[in-house]
Structure 1
Amino acid sequence: MDTQHERPVAVIGAGAIGLSLASALARAGRSITVCGGREPVDRIGITEDGVRETWPVRHVTDPAGIAGHTTAIVAVKAHHTTAVAHWLRALARPDARVLVAQNGVEQHERVAPHVGPARIVPSVVYLNVERTAPGHARLRRVGALDIALPDDASGAALAAELEAGGMRTSTEADLRTVAWTKLLTNITANPLTALTGRRADVMRDPGIERIARRLMAEAVEAGRADGAALTDEHVERALHWLQHVPEGSTTSMREDRLAGRPLEYDALTGAVVRAAERHGVDVPVNRSVLALLAAIEPEVMA
């Protein structure tokens, strides 16, 4: 008989996004295995609208602890993927499916070298989540959708489970365009807040708005060349959204810079530049921003 304990989910990266997705699967009846991390956890919890729910989990420190797991969530930041390669290799089996909950448009390419024949399920995540303590996070919903998945058998199966656990999901025949659409906001708000040190209100400054438009316009051209069905209207919608986020909003890249952590620029701006290089598209403003971000040392801003 197929019980939740016979179908555990491995969570590689129990940060804000990983906890949110794991909590939905736990709510849907799956048992959760948390992989590695600095501090052991025996429960995970999510607080939403002032209500806190928790679930027991199993914590393992050796990849042998997820032998036999056929579902995993990879939610480390993109630039930490290599650091968890030993966990990913434990999933390199044809019967395993790996949900990649990372930013950018290169999820498959980033994870595939480590998981071999496993089925990779890329995603586009819209959750606004703040990790408040080891194993615990505060969840806020943004818009009408929490996560988009590919319209295939693996994507549909995971979407159904996440829906059962309270996530608002969609399955997309053209996930590439969905991912590039989100990338437009990520390559503007994240770098521009990190470089200026200001919160998201900086996107309303006329000079910054002009830079943001150029960044997005270049990315639209690179994305089109890469197969995404982007139009100029995507730029207008993305900019309007960024200029109307709640007062005081920040970005993960700004917070990482303030905390002296490495920045996740390569999966964002770097992806635009690589796509442009593959297709012979000129993206000078994105190249300039990439150079500026790459020059930042991981230390606290003065």
Structure 2
Amino acid sequence: MTESTTGGLTGASGLEPLERPQRVAVVGAGAIGGIVAEAAHTAGHHVTLCVRRPMGPLTVERDGLRRTVRLPVATRPDGLGAPVDWLLIATKAQDTRRTLGWIRRLAGPGTRVVVLQNGVDHEERLAPLLAVGELVPALVYIAAERVSREHVQHRWGRRLVVPSGPAGADLGRLFRGSDVDVVCEDDFTTAAWRKLMTNLAANPLTALTLRRIGVLQQPDLRELARGLLTEAVLVGRAEGARLVMSDVDQTLDLYSAMHPHSGTSMLYDRLAGRPVEHDLITGAVVRAADRHEVPVPLNRAVLALLRAFGEQGAVGVQPLAGVG
């Protein structure tokens, strides 16, 4: 969807590899952290997982095949040495401040710090924590689920979208030969808002209903999704994104193309009893709307509902397919 509407996209993963294996630290070993850690390892780099608790070998499953890799694991920043070449932040956005110790220990003047999180305010969120190094915001078009602490299932997608420039090109080189592709985008603001739209209706509505993505094909919920997305187009335009109303239809078409039994990260988090990222998805739209005095009654109502259940999950509940 991004490629057909944004323009200025350049593939970076086809470039020549970097001159030497890179030192890579991945903070957070959830679904996305596991995918990028395995990919960087496959590409021939020295990868360390930075996590809160010890863990064993990491298994990534895709297309029915499982690949298990043994990576060094660090549970404390003070147990690591010199700064790394690449610091990949793959925690949930609400856990960003907990990465400060890792950033202080591992980021040096030549470090690229890649933010693999949802939202449109990557730089605003991370810049205050970064004293040295170069910040690289990334949009993640990868659907994966952590089915256990050391097992990640890669469902679909392999693309990271980053701003055009030397750092983005080098990130493409970093993942060359792996199952992750990097695309450089000239208009990153528009790309970020389009990515936000892909999450804006699907994530909250599946989490609130405890239904999988097929629930969005029900006429009343599809119209609610359309309303949420239409509000986002107006807010995104006020923020400088070149959004058009056809972006709403393209996002709805994306939902229709997904398997009805597919889930979303917010649904998975709620089912596991983890905090959901409402503040960085729906909350981002509401905050931007307030800055520009754009009315967003539907997103504001959904945000209130998401905040109502807060960190209380639904452990043990099996989500319905939502197909009828």
TM-score for both structures, normalised by structure 2: 0.86
Q: CA deviation at 1:32?
A: 0.7
* One of 20, 34, 51 as aligned partner of 1:36: 51
Match in the other structure for 2:206: 193
Question: 2:226 aligned with 1:222, yes or no?
Answer: no
1:55 paired with 2:69, answer: yes
Distance 2:163 2:233 in 1: 21
CA deviation profile, 1:158-200 (whole Å, cap 9, x unmatched): 0122133232221111122111112112110111111112111
| Gap regions ≥5 residues in structure 2 | 1-18, 318-324
Task: Give the distance between the partners of 1:218 and 1:162, measured in 2 at CA.
Answer: 36
Whether 2:298 is the aligned partner of 1:285: answer yes
**Aligned residue type for 1:199:** R
Q: What are the residue-to-residue correspondences of 1:31-110 with 2, within 5 Å?
A: 31-41=46-56, 43-64=57-78, 65-110=80-125
User: Aligned partners of 2:97, 2:275: CA distance in 1, in Å?
Assistant: 14
Q: Residue 256 in 1 paired to residue 272 in 2?
A: no
Residue 30 of structure 1 aligns with an amino acid whose one-letter code is H
SS in structure 2 of the partner of residue 177 of structure 1: helix
1:149 paired residue number: 162
Look up the equivalent residue of 1:58 and give its one-letter code: P
Moved more, 171-180 or 253-262: 253-262
Match of residue 166, structure 1, among 158, 167, 179:
179
Offset of residue 139 of structure 1: 1.5
1:22 and 1:152 mapped to 2: Cα distance? 23
Q: Within 2, Cα distance between the matches of 1:96 and 1:212?
A: 40
| 1:275-301 CA distance string (max 9 Å, x none) | 112222221211111111111142344
- Are the counterparts in 2 of residues 151 and 171 from structure 1 also a CA contact under 8 Å? yes
Name whichever of 158-167 and 28-37 sits farther off. Answer: 158-167
CA apart distance, 1:66: 4.9
Amino acid across the alignment from 2:238: A
Task: Give the equivalent residue in structure 2 for 1:182.
Answer: 195
Displacement of 1:35 after TM fit? 0.8
> Residues of 2 paired with 1:133 and 1:254: CA distance?
16
Gaps of 5+ in 1: none
Distance 2:258 2:286 in 1: 27
1:95 Cα deviation from its structure 2 partner: 1.3
Shift in CA distance, 66/230, structure 1 to aligned 2, threshold 3 Å: farther
The alignment of Structure 1 onto Structure 2 pairs a total of residues equal to 296
Distance of aligned partners of 1:138 and 1:216 in 2 relative to their CA distance in 1, 3 Å threshold: same
Match of 2:16 in 1: none
**Which position in structure 1 is the counterpart of 2:25?**
10
**In 2, are the aligned partners of 1:259 and 1:299 still within 8 Å (CA)?**
no
Which position in structure 2 is the counterpart of 1:137? 152
- Contact (CA 8 Å) 1:98, 1:118: kept in 2 or not? yes
Higher relative contact order (CA 8 A, sep 6+): 2
Within 2, Cα distance between the matches of 1:9 and 1:44? Answer: 16
Indicate whether 1:210 and 2:234 are aligned. Answer: no
Secondary structure of the structure 1 residue equivalent to 2:98? helix
- CA displacement at 1:227 relative to structure 2: 1.3
* SS of the residue 1:138 aligns to: strand
Task: For residue 126 of structure 1, give the secondary structure of its aligned residue in structure 2.
Answer: strand
Q: Is the 8 A contact 2:89 2:114 kept in 1?
A: yes
Q: Which amino acid aligns with 1:123?
A: A
Deviates further, 32-41 or 153-162? 32-41
Deviation of residue 56 (structure 1)? 2.9
Greater mean alpha carbon deviation, residues 54-63 or residues 171-180 = 54-63
Q: What is the SS of the residue equivalent to 1:234?
A: helix
CA 1:286–1:61: 2 relative to 1, 3 Å: same
User: What's the Cα RMSD here?
Assistant: 1.8
Decide whether aligned partners of structure 1 residues 297 and 278 sit closer, same or farther in structure 2, where only a CA change above 3 A counts. Answer: closer
